[in-house]
A and B are shown apart, each in its own frame.
Chain A
Amino acid sequence: MTTNTARNAAAADGTWQAGRTGGTSVSLKNLSRSFGTTRALDGLSLEIAPGELVALLGPSGCGKTTALRIVAGFESADTGSVIVDGKDMLPVPAARRDMGMVFQSYSLFPNMSALDNVAFGLRMRKLAAGKRRTRAAELLDMVGLAPQAQQYPHQLSGGQQQRVALVRALAIEPRVLLLDEPLSALDAKVRLQLREQIRTLQQRLGTTTLFVTHDQEEALSMADRVGVMRLGKLEQIAAPDELYTEPATAFVAEFVGVMNRIPAELQGSGTVAVLGGTVPVKGGQSQTEALGGDQAVDALVRPEGLTMQVVENGNGIVTHRTFLGSVTRVRVLLSGDVTVQIDRPSFEAAALAAGTSVSVTLPTEPVLIAPRRPVTP
């Protein structure tokens, strides 16, 4: 508690605060980058508002780390520009970009104590020895590591090392904070705690932040906006709730959260026949026409978007239940070897033993559709 109190006091009285008020705007314009025949970035454009935390989310190889490294100055772009506060940064070397970076692997300098690691950037900025040590100590205190200030990286746990790396990046009062999967090497408990701490510090300091991750839970819980990338391009960028509830494409819909694919048949006038009923298609007529007149499609529905009732001779059979706390995810085998997942309150799902016959239906709200994918066993 003593540490907490000291930390909160340091933050409250403004002993250490970001020197840049108002934050920094970042604009990536039409960035492209190829490695041999592999096109890592394919015309990526992205606007980040001052003080905003944007997460880039996507599968391995989608180009998110390449984008971050181009912003940091560790990679060059084939085409495009990185504009920070109106200035193109691509010709500027990494050392002069004023961007703090936290890496996936623990990047503390092994030959320096935690305090010296945090003070390193300040030393590069010619801050007097006394001042930089004071500031580094304040920063370590902010993340609860004052007692470990004199310890070397190998004496710290992974979570502690990443907190030191975080404040080391923030110590230079960076124009932009870049986070390259900083939590992926940590265990679940520490990851959760550090996630909250990064977000709290970022909001308190108002540092514009670009965060790269493949963990959708991290992206959705931390970011103001999440950009989903695929094949070097942004598929969609939106607030986390919008991304989940209003995915723009089938890829986003399936990448973010759990999504059921249910075989359906296109009807006229932007509707689709699915699970014995007819429901409207998101995007209406234009969406159905975009599929090129193919009648066989899949309806994409979240587990919480399906309803289910226990009936004799229903259209599905319960095969498995996964307890998730307040809800239980029930797997139901439908005709045609299609399995769907349906979330039910745990107190209701307790009665749904494997083998129970159920009737699965879809509310009449618009659904997203995608070209039919063969059923995998």
Chain B
Amino acid sequence: MATVADVEAGAQTPASATRPAARRRSFPVWRWAILLIAGVFFLIPLYAGLRFAGLKAFANVFTYPGFGSAVGLSLRLAAITTILTLVLMVPTTVYVHLRLPQIRRSMEGITIMPIVIPPIVLIIGVLKVAPGFLLGTPYLLALVYVILAMPFAYRSLDAGLRAFDLKTMVEASNSLGADWPTTLWRVVLPNIRTAMLSATVLTVALVLGEFTMASLALYVTFPVWIVQFEQNAGPVTTAASLLALFVTWILLMLIVTVGGRGARKRGGAQVALFTVAAPAESSQTMGEPE
């Protein structure tokens, strides 16, 4: 019996095989120039901060009063906010994509609202609806941060879901006997892993840097601590700010590297901060190499 394999053998040259070389060639000099200018623009203030703080201040940061509790609270809030955001936004976004695609545009509008609504309105709204056991605790801020993170998380997840054929994947999984929770766990979530990582990075970065809400609610998170001690311990708070920046960068690079490696192996979406773009030829390769 003649088989397809006989015909196709030796003719398989997925388009992705030649991509890196082509990409290297298409990076012209003017792009390097823009990269250099942007780099200088960002690095000069950092250098100035380093000069102002001095290396000694970095060692003092950890022993300064309130530093540990402020960082601890910010990290706990970041973890809670991230979990709540993913638990709420992932099923919502998947449901909208699968069952209510017609309201996707409306969702984009709704999820952008936390950016345009004044912080004081948001926090009063949260105070009105928050469960009693949260009132009077700093963890109330997590609810506010979930709202603030919504525009970024939704966009990351939305882009991730657009990068592959969700409807067909879900139907294929169902037809093979997988129920809904199994389909979500084994098929959907692994394929939006990079989008979830992007949402996580953005949420963590937002919580670690958020000042207004925490200050209004009178809780000393890390940014509030920096502002409070800025007046009498400038070099130390500057060193703390730089440390926070470096830690966030390292976290970001770690997620991008780990997520990107997994995505490249599977030929899927690459990690990006605001969008998750799938190379056109990877996810929907309709042409034949033969």
Contacts and interface: CB of A to CB of B under 8 A. Distances in A.
Interface of A: 3-4, 7-8, 72-74, 93-101, 103, 105-107, 109-111, 120-121, 124-125, 143-145, 152-160, 163, 165, 168-169, 172, 178, 185-187, 189-190, 193-194, 196-197, 200
Nearest to B5: A144
Contacts of A154: 14, 16, 266-268, 282-283, 285
Contacts of A153: 267
Nearest to B165: A105
B14 A168 contact: no
Given A120-B176, A154-B266, A110 B4 contact: no
Nearest to B174: A94
A272 B4 CA distance: 50
Nearest to A8: B1
Contact of B268 (A111, A121, A185): A111
Interface in B143-166: 164-165
Contacts of B18: none
Interface string B258-290: 000000011110000000000000111111111
B216 interface: no
Contact of A7 (B3, B12, B191): B3
Contacts of B175: 72-73, 94-95, 97, 99-101, 169, 178
Contacts of B284: 105-106
Contact of B4 (A73, A105, A193): A193
12 contacts: A93-B179, A101-B175, A105-B284, A106-B284, A109-B187, A120-B176, A152-B265, A152-B266, A172-B176, A187-B287, A196-B2, A200-B1
A200 B4 CA distance: 12
Contacts of A187: 287-288, 290
Given A163-B4, A187-B288, A95 B174 contact: yes
A164 B267 CA distance: 17
B190 interface: yes
A74 B168 CA distance: 10
A130 to B, nearest CB: 19
Contacts of A107: 165, 168-169, 171-172
Given A124-B176, A157-B14, A4 B266 contact: no
B107 interface: no
B267 A193 contact: no
Nearest to A186: B288
Nearest to B180: A95
A286 B5 CA distance: 54
Contact of B5 (A94, A103, A145, A200): A145
A159 B8 CA distance: 8
Nearest to A145: B5
Of B1, B175, B193, chain A has the most CB atoms within 10 Å of the CB of B175
A3 B5 contact: yes
A189 B174 contact: no
B288 A190 contact: yes
Given A107-B165, A109-B191, A190-B288, A121 B177 contact: yes
A268 B182 CA distance: 69
A152 B267 contact: yes
A156 B12 contact: yes
A159 B4 contact: yes
Contacts of A163: 4
B111 interface: no
Contacts of B174: 73-74, 93-95
A196 B11 CA distance: 20
A144 B171 contact: no
B178 interface: yes
A8 B283 CA distance: 33
Q: Sorted from nearest, which 5 A-B pairs have the closest CB atoms?
A: A154-B267, A144-B5, A121-B176, A124-B177, A111-B190
A74 B266 contact: no
Nearest to B3: A144
Of B12, B177, B187, B287, chain A has the most CB atoms within 10 Å of the CB of B177
